[in-house]
Structure 1
Amino acid sequence: MPLHPALRAHLDELNPRAEEAARAGVVATPESARAALAALAGFAAAPVDVARVDDAVIAGVPVRRYVPVPDEERDVVLFVHGGGHLAGDLDVYDFSARRTAAATGMVVVSVDYRRAPEAPFPAGLTDVYAVLRALPEGIDGIPTTGHVHAMADSGGAAKVASIAMRVAAGEWISPIRRQVLLYPSLDYTMSGASLRELGTGHLLTAERVAWYFDHYFPADADRRAASPLSGPYAADLPETLVIAAEYDPLRSEAEEYVARARAAGAPVSLVVAPGMIHAFAFFETLIPHETDRLYGIVGCFLREGVAPGAW
């Protein structure tokens, strides 16, 4: 379907400004990228009330814990934010973690992992894994069922998929039962067809993706081996719902990931959000119906393991 008219209007305003900045020689920095992502949070709606929210440290990593029903045992959701492995933090993604807690009724633990370029690959990934492994101690005192799921977007989804990849390789272990990968970044070699087709003018650009990866990886890193798309895959992958966006340059790698996982016998489903762009979850005030639909899908899948056949 066509690009959503509200997103089209936003891009029509944004793209000329980006082109003018490029002509003027403005160069992106980690600080400017972080500020730009934080600015997107300005499109979020008013924060959803959650009964209890507090900051803590698990395995040496700062986290924020959201407890929607403090007096009942609930499942736990590991929440891993995106931002190209370089931007994003607990505050920028507070709106989404709150919505995840409200949609699922589960305890949400949002991870403030280290970011590139100050802490390049695999520092942020190992932070997320350390929190996952230490979750029982990190949520001691909060009533839970012991069941663990994950919700992650973009670069955060890359980290969750990377954990599953290492579990399939026999290197790590994980308690995650169900996971949602929202417009995930899965191919560090940037080989996907949609990067070529949609790599300009749709908020996330192919040029910016390359810039993020150059800041994330050491010069000698094997990006193909690090890519979740490269596998390995296993039939006992957690129940996984991949939510891609129709106009996202990363869409084709999400589609290929699902195809390869299914070929291995894994319980993986794909939903493509029509008319949407990368990071569309930020734009709550522009596309309220679509963001409500998103969290409805996320809640249903993490609670019941039911993936919709289509958006």
Structure 2
Amino acid sequence: MAFSRDPLDELVVPDGTEAQERALVTDGDVLVGGRATVEFGVRGRNVLAGESAAFGGDIEADGDCRLDMWCDVAENVLVGQDAYIGERVHVGGKLKVAGDLDIGDDVEIEEGFEANGWIVIRNPMPTIVFLFVYLKHLLLIGEDDAAQRLVSELVEDDEDGEPEAEPLVIPRNATVGDDAWRVSTPATIGDNCRLHGNVRAETIDVGANCNIFGSLRARDDVTVGEGARIHGDLTTRDGDVEIASDARILGDVSCEDLELGPDAEIDGTIRAAGEITMGTTERDLE
């Protein structure tokens, strides 16, 4: 996994992520930028949230959980290893930690907390802030190799030597929920994802075989992968749209140039200010 810029400058939804009834579920880590709002719970390996991030449901972390100051969690925080809770964090339910707990001042946990390991009351370092400020500084001064080593240490191999799943990244100031996913950055959605809500971003890249129950709207280019299903309109203000083979848009498409792959379908109206290019199947070429 390589970062060419600040990793919180893009919405990244890794392969296989699902928006279930009350939680966003992924196999890898969950990184949430400062002042972002996640209107449901999250479930992943390690969960790290920046200052003033808000969650509308449970946080379930198989590994560690780190919440910087002023974070707000509407329900429970369940942690499989260690937890680091910054000052003035609010938890609307219980905090349960299987390992050690570092907890800051003025933390409010409405239904109490328990930890199987050591409990230390202090103000933990805001780890996610330090991590990404340091990484961004390395990139700015041209230390790409050092930045890559830092990322490699974070994304460790599993016991079989295979790389762990790519993290789910929600940028700063984003809003993510059943109604809409709103970011002012590019958005990349991996393969085989199932999401609910309208996606609003600078650019949007949807992977293969995704099901998105909502519309896509971007300022610039939009790409829809092979076999994907978009249950809504697809609109870009100034960009082009590429729809791969066997993909289907259950709504209207509005763009500059439009490229349609073989057997791609659009159920609604096409509004293209520029060119429309249609792919052909192997059978058509015979």
TM-score range, shorter chain: under 0.3
The answer to which structure has the higher helix fraction is: 1
Q: Under a length normalisation based on structure 2, what TM-score does the superposition of the two structures give?
A: 0.25
The structure whose Rg is larger is: 2
User: Which protein has greater RCO, CA pairs closer than 8 Å, 6+ apart?
Assistant: 1
The answer to which structure has the higher strand fraction is: 2
Q: Under a length normalisation based on structure 1, what TM-score does the superposition of the two structures give?
A: 0.24
